[in-house]
Structure 1
């Protein structure tokens, strides 16, 4: 199987590794302890073009849609990350963050599928947007790990109920919710590109709360 056609589950796994290790290295280099990496996800910030004024139109390169009325530090940080992904990393159609500040994983997945580049999941090409990714992660609202686990568990059960019988449950480790999914993620046995898997994924998408989207 070519890299471009590798199942999405494998792309997600590699994306997690690509994000976590460089961010840990960055934290150590800056005198930190790596705690900016939470829940297997990452988010961060650098100098990028300012967000456009209201009414500035659709996503031109280096811009985002007008900011929502209810602003937050997390949303603002994600806007800067999105701007970086569109400019420095070249994904001009990278989606705006949701009003909550969380990224739109369904739209990001479309970019990964179209390009075959797992860098689109997080961090950008050659990790150019890791600083923006980390900065957003540093101001992410604290995740209720019990709710995260319950959401991942409901999603896993739904996937099995919809025909993906080998989809595994999440686990709790050290107070952190660890996503389930493929029973052997290092060498995937589930074909996440199959029509059956995609139908189940669509049917079960609503089971995932925003804080765990893109994890399972």
Structure 2
């Protein structure tokens, strides 16, 4: 059992708790950082050169407080999170979010350090980026838990139909949705890097609603 697979399992459990919140997303990408270019191609100043916004954890304690709402604000908050992940969190290749603001979890999985402790899933080294992660979560679009459950249920069935027989169903619990997937994430029985799994995931990707990819 590798640290990588343990981290993936821990990430799924962490995400399940987020769904029950019922927020679904944690992070994203960044406009800058020294030597980093924004999603649109422009170059932005490094984090060290950026003053902390009023009300943020960097300017007096506590989590950053979102000043706006909507998809644009959500995306911008995700970009801020990745700026910190790339420069302060120790994950220099942390991937950009989709244009919707949601994370691209397969790409995050690809940059996980197999010798690390899952920093990619937990706000960076020593959770230094957790306030930015939390601020982005607060701006995540509200979701319909029943539709999310039905989507993940269809996805789980598709995964089993395409050869991943151990793939479990999601469950409704505590006002939220607990994703399905590996029946024992602490000691995985499913290899997400196997060719068969990759083919199944590609075949079943359309079953998941926007923002649910990577959840199970």
Both structures adopt the same fold (TM-score exceeding 0.5): yes
What residue in structure 1 maps to residue 211 of structure 2? 211
Q: Distance in 2 between matches of 1:43 and 1:142?
A: 14
- For residues 135-156 of structure 1, give each alpha carbon's deviation from its aligned partner in whole angstroms, at most 9, with x where no partner exists: 0001111111112111111110
Structure 1 residue 188: deviation in Å?
Answer: 2.0
Inter-CA distance 20–143: structure 2 relative to 1 (3 Å threshold)? closer
What residue in structure 2 maps to residue 170 of structure 1? 170
1:38 aligns with 2:34: no
1:51 aligns with 2:31: yes
Q: Kindly indicate whether the alpha-carbon contact (under 8 Å) linking 1:63 and 1:83 is maintained by their aligned counterparts in 2.
A: no
Inter-CA distance 40–183: structure 2 relative to 1 (3 Å threshold)? farther
- For residues 144-190 of structure 1, give each alpha carbon's deviation from its aligned partner in whole angstroms, at most 9, with x where no partner exists: 11121111111101110110111111111133111011122232222
1:125 aligns with 2:125: yes
Equivalent positions of 1:1-216 (< 5 A) are 1-3=1-3, 6-7=4-5, 10-15=6-11, 38-39=21-22, 43=26, 51=31, 61-66=35-40, 72-112=72-112, 115-116=113-114, 117=116, 118-216=118-216
Structure 1 residue 120: deviation in Å?
Answer: 1.1
Q: Kindly indicate whether the alpha-carbon contact (under 8 Å) linking 1:42 and 1:134 is maintained by their aligned counterparts in 2.
A: no
Q: State how many pairs are aligned.
A: 185
- For residues 120-140 of structure 1, give each alpha carbon's deviation from its aligned partner in whole angstroms, at most 9, with x where no partner exists: 134112211111100000111
Gaps of 5+ in 1: 22-34, 53-58
After TM superposition, the score normalised by the length of structure 2 is: 0.72
Structure 1 residue 109: deviation in Å?
Answer: 1.6
Q: CA RMSD in A?
A: 3.1
Structure 1 residue 119: deviation in Å?
Answer: 1.6
What residue in structure 2 maps to residue 56 of structure 1? none
Which sits farther off after the overlay, 204-213 or 167-176? 204-213
Q: Kindly indicate whether the alpha-carbon contact (under 8 Å) linking 2:23 and 2:140 is maintained by their aligned counterparts in 1.
A: no
Inter-CA distance 44–202: structure 2 relative to 1 (3 Å threshold)? closer
Q: Kindly indicate whether the alpha-carbon contact (under 8 Å) linking 2:10 and 2:185 is maintained by their aligned counterparts in 1.
A: no
Q: Distance in 1 between matches of 2:169 and 2:8?
A: 17
Structure 1 residue 65: deviation in Å?
Answer: 1.8
After TM superposition, the score normalised by the length of structure 1 is: 0.72
**1:180 aligned counterpart, secondary structure:** coil
Inter-CA distance 86–170: structure 2 relative to 1 (3 Å threshold)? same
